[in-house]
Copies of this chain bind each other. A is one copy, B any other.
Amino acid sequence: MNVIVDLCVVPMGVGVSVSKYVAECQKVLQEAGLEHQLHAYGTNIAGDWDEVFAAIKRCHERVHALGAPRITTTIKVGTRTDREQSMQEKIDSVTDKKS
């Protein structure tokens, strides 16, 4: 089952600056070979359900290992059985309708 996910990992108890931890999650996604795109409030990821969620679990493990005692993460997960749709196609289907 393919998913498109929006992931936002928030380490708590490490001060206001959390970019170090978010950068670590980007590395995890890269190592996993998953298609992903950082935006200003999270990261979009596309791939197989099991691979994507294994990577998200590794993000938690690595952010804890970096010193964050608590993490609260927000995930949006989309699946569909009617047809395949890439992240770019989702964006295009909206921008096409604006013109």
B79 touches A70 (CB 8 A): yes
Main secondary structure of the interface of A (DSSP, over half): mixed
> What is the copy number of this chain in the assembly?
4
A76 touches B42 (CB 8 A): yes
The residue from B16, B78, B87, B97 contacting A82, defined by CB atoms under 8 A apart: B16
Residues of B with C-beta under 8 A to A69: 16, 80-82
Q: Give the size of the chain A interface in residues (CB under 8 angstroms).
A: 57
- A6-B42, A12-B18, A53-B53 known; A81-B97 Cβ under 8 A: no
Residues of B with C-beta under 8 A to A78: 41, 70-73
Complex Cα gap A23–B93 (Å): 9
- A38-B95, A94-B23, A95-B38 known; A82-B44 Cβ under 8 A: no
